[in-house]
Amino acid sequence: MTDAHAAPRGVGVVVVAAGSGSRLGAGRPKAFVPLGGRPLLDWALEGVAAVAGLRSVAVVVPAELVDADGWAGVALPPGATVVAGGAERTESVAAGLAVLDPACDVVLVHDAARCLTPVSVFDRVVEAVRAGADGVVPGLAVVDTVKTVDTEGYVTGTPDRSGLRAVQTPQGFPRDVLLGAHASGMVATDDAALVERTGHRVRVVEGDPLAFKVTTPDDLARAERLVARA
């Protein structure tokens, strides 16, 4: 029996914001790029602060920014801990997990770059973890036909689109399951992959188009249009 089945003790959120933002190319770490006059990270933390049952928040940023100025406009949730990230996203998540309040029974990992994620997505993920899942990811049906290819660019297959989902964050786990997956020392582009590889079943709940990741300048322009309209 995992912690998720015991009395709820609170939700911990690791917000990963330690990437460089090379594809955005804005000349500074992506989480500190302004969106509607506020850093992306501030938008992301506004969503996190509204999570029901929130107990602990770890904000993982580039090492050079942990003690630096340049935090103007970022409102940290009360009691949040700021910690330096690593070269890989997996390392950044592990750094956040290490400082999260160990009393949290549910842990969410969230990309700061998904800065406009509605709180309803967080709540759906927490609810599914509390209902007993070992891992929960928000996902959307894939609209394009997807091909697998070899190193020369030749198509090796066309998976049935109805069985594919594009997954987002926050991804949620009982704390012990996520710690165990990270202790394996494996690296992946998301946390669910580590949990899958350690033999657990991960459930998909409905994602939200607004949980898109700001990756390219086009994505930032889309985010600017959305916040201007709000």
Binding residues vs ligand CTP (CB under 6 A):
16-23, 30-31, 60, 85-89, 92, 111-113, 213, 215
User: Who's near 183: CB < 8 A, 6+ residues apart?
Assistant: none
Q: What is the DSSP letter of 28?
A: S
Work out the angle between the directed axes of helices 89-99 and 175-183 (0-180°, nearest 10): 130
Nearer to Mg ion, 12 or 19 (CB): 19
Nearer to Mg ion, 30 or 130 (CB): 30
Q: Is the peptide bond before 102 cis (omega within 30 degrees of 0)?
A: no
Measure the N-to-C terminal CA separation of the chain; round to a whole number of Å.
Answer: 44
Q: Which does 213 bind (CB under 5 to 8 A by kind): ligand CTP, Mg ion, none?
A: ligand CTP
Left if phi > 0, otherwise alpha if psi is -120 to 50, otherwise beta: which for 199? left
Nearer to ligand CTP, 87 or 146 (CB): 87
Q: Which does 11 bind (CB under 5 to 8 A by kind): ligand CTP, Mg ion, none?
A: none
Smallest gap from Cβ 223 to ligand CTP, in A, equals: 13
Nearer to ligand CTP, 3 or 92 (CB): 92
Give the pair of three-digit tokens for residue 228. 């201007």
Rounded to whole angstroms, the Cα distance separating 133 from 204 reads: 10
Q: Which does 17 bind (CB under 5 to 8 A by kind): Mg ion, ligand CTP, none?
A: ligand CTP
Smallest gap from Cβ 23 to ligand CTP, in A, equals: 3
Smallest gap from Cβ 114 to Mg ion, in A, equals: 13
Smallest gap from Cβ 176 to ligand CTP, in A, equals: 23
Could you tell me the sign of the dihedral formed by the alpha carbons of 39, 126, 202, 206, in that order? negative
Smallest gap from Cβ 189 to Mg ion, in A, equals: 8
130 to 99, 100, 125, 148, 213: CA distances (angstroms): 22, 19, 9, 35, 26
| Contact status, residue 72 vs residue 32, Cβ threshold 8 Å | no
Map residues 6-45 to x or -, x wherever contact with Mg ion holds by CB under 5 A: -------------x--------------------------
Nearest residue to ligand CTP, scored by beta-carbon proximity: 19
